[in-house]
Amino acid sequence: MADESRKPLRFTTQKSFAHRLVLSTLTGRAVHISQIRPASPTNPGLAPHEISFLRLIEAVTNGSNIEISYTGSTIVYRPGLITGSAPGTGSSEGVIRHELPAGCTRGISYFLIPLCLLAPFSKAAVNVLFTGPGVITSATQAGDMSADSVRTAILPLYAQFGISNNIELRILQRSNPGPGGRGGGGEVQLIFGHQVRLPKTVHLLNPGRVKSIRGVAYCTGVSASNNARMIEAARGILNPMTADTYIFSDVSSAPFIPTYVKSKPDAKKKIGIGFGLSLVAESSTGSLYSADLASPPEGGETPEDIGTQCAYQLLESVSNGGTVSLAAAPTVLTLMAMGSEDVGRLQMGREVLGTEEIVGLARDLRAFGASGWGVRAAGADSEGDVIVSVVGRGVGNVGRKIA
């Protein structure tokens, strides 16, 4: 039986790659992931953002072992202890500098959300500075949310689990996706200084009514009038819903990155030009619903289109029901499964629970030893919602226990 527990869990394809590595690190179970883009004739195996995420995991843990096949289509990962930015583990003055490559096509939230899941279980505080020509702070075509939405719609959820002190996300330099959706040139710093032994058991059963809407309209390297046009279009749709609507405007210059031309070694070029909108609706009971949209790298979208589409996206997220949106559900469900050995309850919309992402998460949690979920219909007041019961695994913070 002991030999069986030491065998790596086997998964296929690159789906949920980052989240599977997070679950592996939290539970201490090794994983074997194969068939990662095996049919691609030009770019088989791991993509640049996945390799960069492996380097990030290696930086915040001690003792992790990563084996990658020659083609990059198979990986074996044996997790170590989550140390965060502890002295002597690769951090400089308590800060880990992580550089993203220029070929990165995923937004910074692809790295921030999994890192935030690991941070509460770390031995020391987590302080990571994301730099390099691949940092995209806006929303992306791949479905990643912007850094603003992570700050306003994901990080506040940790307070429900008793994790609320010394948590900060700083956007030092904004950037939209570069040509072809690759690269950015932004700069983001995550400080997560609240480590706990076990997250609290939560019961989120009352969605409440939307009472306020907040947002950030941002533009990089383009006219500030784009922000005003996005805000006006969004408010035209959202104001009839609630009068308490306020959207901030943030204007910044485009970042410069080196061109690496031999004839001009010091030459630099502008990248990450564009604009976007992040919206978050808060209910009377503290439930958060978010929406994100940014201009495509090739252009062709007016600010009015972005503002209108983002506002309708927010309304759709609210209409799905439940106490969490689709973007936040994986974070909440994972923390509930890793928390105290007690039953937590979460009200979700049927359309959110039935998505491929959430069903895949349930299967992955079961594979890593968590209990199955109990699902029942919500009361008559919340027609169309379901109550999901999750039993915590009691994984806890091993580093804090040893310390």
Q: What is the pLDDT of residue 84?
A: 87
Contacts of 280 (CB under 8 A, 6+ apart): 149, 152, 153, 213, 214, 215, 288, 289, 290, 291
Give the pLDDT mean for 237-245. 92
Q: What is the pLDDT of residue 182?
A: 87
CB-based contact 268:258 (threshold 8 Å): yes
End-to-end CA distance of the chain: 29
pTM over 0.85: yes
Burial class (CB in 10 A: 0-12, 13-18, 19+), 162: middle
**Helix residue ranges, H only, 217-300:** 225-238
Q: What is the pLDDT of residues 109-122, one digit of tens each?
A: 999 999 999 999 99
Helix (H, G, I), strand (E, B) or coil at 266: coil
Closest CA to 176 of 219, 225, 230, 138: 138
Among 172-186, 231-245, 258-272, 357-371, which is the least confidently predicted range?
A: 258-272
Sorting pLDDT into bands at 50, 70 and 90, what band is 183? confident
Residue of 160, 155, 153 lying closest to 213 (CA atoms): 153
* CA 271/CA 284 separation, integer angstroms: 41
| The length of the chain, given as a count of residues | 403
| Rounded Cα distance, 68 and 71, in Å | 8
pLDDT score recorded for residue 269: 81
Who contacts 148 (Cβ-Cβ below 8 Å, separation ≥6)? 137, 171, 216, 218, 278
Give the start-end residues of each E strand in 230-365: 245-252, 256-258, 268-270, 274-283, 288-294, 343-349
Give bridge partners of residue 168 from the DSSP assignment: 191
Give the residue carrying structure tokens 């390799």: 51
Distance CA 357, CA 330 (A): 8
Residues 330 and 358 sit within 8 Å (Cβ to Cβ): yes
Tell me what pLDDT residue 400 has.
52
Neighbour-count burial for 255-268, b at 16+ CB within 10 Å, e otherwise: bebeeeeeeeeeee
Based on DSSP, count helices (H) and strands (E) in the chain, helices before strands: 11, 20
Q: Is the predicted pLDDT of residue 195 greater than 50, yes or no?
A: yes
Average pLDDT, the chain: 90
Tell me how far apart the alpha carbons of residues 191 and 165 are, in angstroms, rounded to a whole number. 10
What per-residue confidence (pLDDT) applies to 398? 58
* Cα separation, 233 vs 228, whole angstroms: 9
Predicted confidence at residue 326, as pLDDT, reads: 93
Which stretches of 111-263 are assigned E, i.e. beta strand? 126-131, 167-173, 187-192, 203-204, 210-220, 245-252, 256-258
Q: Is 139 helix (H, G, I), strand (E, B) or coil?
A: coil
pLDDT beyond 60 at 313: yes
Taking the C-alpha atoms of residue 135 and residue 187, their distance in angstroms, rounded to an integer, is: 6
Q: Give per-residue pLDDT as tens, 40-76.
A: 888 889 999 999 999 999 999 999 999 999 989 999 9
pLDDT > 70: percent of the chain: 95
User: Each residue of 246-285: pLDDT tens digit?
Assistant: 999 999 998 888 777 777 777 788 888 999 999 999 999 9
Does residue 286 surpass a pLDDT of 60? yes
| pLDDT tens digits, 201-220 | 999 999 999 999 999 999 99
Residue 126 has pLDDT above 60, yes or no: yes
Q: Residue 4 above 60 pLDDT?
A: no
Q: Is pLDDT of 333 > 50?
A: yes
**Which of 113, 120, 17 is CA-nearest to residue 66?**
17
